[in-house]
Structure 1
Amino acid sequence: MAEGAATLLETIERDTGADPQWSVLWLHGLGADGNDFVPILPELVRRDWPAMRFVFPHAPVRGVTINNGMRMRAWYDIRDFDLANRADEQGVMESVAQVGALIEREIARGIPASRIFLAGFSQGGAITLAAGLRRREPLAGLVGLSTYVPAAGSAGAALVEAAKSQPLFMGHGTQDPVVPFAAGEQSAAWMRQHGFEVEFHRYPMPHSVCAEEIRDLGDWMSRRLAAG
């Protein structure tokens, strides 16, 4: 884990203005890369927001068991379609450490943890939730889209008390064939039961994002930015 934390992932960065005072780390899904969510910025970013730095890391390339061992960008191996056994725990922890290293880089660049959002879609969302549970220095907020809490049966043991102060936005498609809607709903309930303030939205879509979801996320972020 220490080795993973020492190796900074390659990233794509987009600043919305000079001298950013806030950062957003956005984690893509399985088989995609950091380019995947760059196009949503014109839809998401509001004119009245302060200057922000969006950081889109590329996950490491690894073999994925359910895809016949094919090598692709993945935050962890997927061993089974069953959500309870889906996530490779060692891979999850390596990615949590690598994301932690990117957060530390933002802090070193002058953005405090309290002004950093961590967001992710699908696999990236699972890493967002796993990392969020462990945050001793709370972030401005967590965003999990079309995702689930990995290894929920044992995740509670990793929960840090300070982490509970991080607000969480979750969105999920009711027609999602990859991460079933029920799994997203149950994960939101799990986070609430463990002390998180969760705003959960459902959308009539498959395993994707939609304009309504980006609008709702923008509204939620606006409130967080105003509070910060």
Structure 2
Amino acid sequence: MQELLPYVDVNPDKPHDAVVVWLHGLGDSGNGFAPIVPELKLPTSMSVRFVFPHAPVRPVTINNGMPMRAWYDIKSLDFNQRADSQGVRESAQQVKQLIETEIEQGIDSKRVILAGFSQGGVIAYHLGLRFDQPLGGILALSTYLTEVPTLDDEASEANKSTPIFTAHGLYDEVIPCALGKTGADKLSELGYAVQWQDYPMQHNVCADEIQAISAWLQQRLA
């Protein structure tokens, strides 16, 4: 087994009974989203651990090969060939190990939420739809769906009914909102329980979105 990804964690005041694994975007780190936990204003009655892994450092082709934290290489601006398939699968396997560690320590898989923003959302989609135990939910923010042709063969029956919350900025200048909506619509066509929401923002998160995420997490984990 590979060494677990390094991560930042935010723990409740009492032993946790649920986990949110939240994956950052290109060039960021686990520290980037950790401050969102208090902003979610989850009730003190909930006992949720947040885990924010750091992506591996790798050269990114479209950034002149500059090494940075990335879940996969981006070799082209063409979204049909944007995500490096091998990198997506390798990162998904590393995140899978993190989740399996929580399950081995006694957390019910149905009380694990897999979340991701941008590149992290690509991994959340990829892994969540293929994970072999039922998850509590998939949270995909400002992202897009990859590896669609293989999904029919690789999708796990365990997560065919797992709730998916996906949100996007209408003015996203990095990943067009239409691309995010196309992925959500595709999953709906395949019978997944997708909740779509867009916001008047760019490639970021906003206060209304954070409030909606909080409500969704409470619904899933209360």
Measured against the shorter chain, the TM-score band is over 0.9
Q: How many residues align?
A: 222
2:70 pairs with 1:45: no
Contact 1:168 1:197 in 2 (8 A): yes
Cα distance in 2 for partners of 1:182, 1:140 equals 27
Residue 155 (structure 1) aligns with: 151
What amino acid maps onto 1:187 in structure 2?
A: G
Contact 2:139 2:164 in 1 (8 A): yes
Deviation at 1:49, TM superposition (A): 4.4
Which of 63, 88, 91 is equivalent to 2:87?
Answer: 91
> Any unmatched runs of 5+ in structure 2?
none
Deviation at 1:223, TM superposition (A): 1.2
2:202 pairs with 1:212: no
Which of 173, 177, 182 is equivalent to 2:173?
Answer: 177
Residue 3 (structure 2) aligns with: 7
Within a 5 Å distance, the mapping from 1:118-197 to structure 2 comes to 118-197=114-193
Residue 30 (structure 2) aligns with: 34
What amino acid maps onto 1:62 in structure 2?
A: R
Contact 2:138 2:162 in 1 (8 A): yes
Deviation at 1:152, TM superposition (A): 2.4
Task: State the 4+ residue runs in structure 1 displaced beyond 2 angstroms.
Answer: 151-157
2:96 pairs with 1:103: no
Task: Among all aligned residue pairs of Structure 1 and Structure 2, give the percentage whose two residues are the same amino acid.
Answer: 49
Residue 61 (structure 2) aligns with: 65
> Any unmatched runs of 5+ in structure 1?
none
Q: When the two structures are superposed, what TM-score results if normalisation uses the length of structure 2?
A: 0.96
2:59 pairs with 1:76: no
More helix by share: 1
Q: When the two structures are superposed, what TM-score results if normalisation uses the length of structure 1?
A: 0.94
Cα distance in 1 for partners of 2:131, 2:35 equals 29
Contact 2:111 2:135 in 1 (8 A): yes
Aligned CA distance change for structure 1 residues 64 and 49 (closer, same or farther; 3 Å): farther
Tell me the C-alpha RMSD between the 2 structures: 1.2
Deviation at 1:48, TM superposition (A): 4.8
Contact 2:126 2:147 in 1 (8 A): no
What amino acid maps onto 1:6 in structure 2?
A: Q
Deviation at 1:108, TM superposition (A): 1.8
Residue 52 (structure 2) aligns with: 56
Contact 1:84 1:151 in 2 (8 A): no
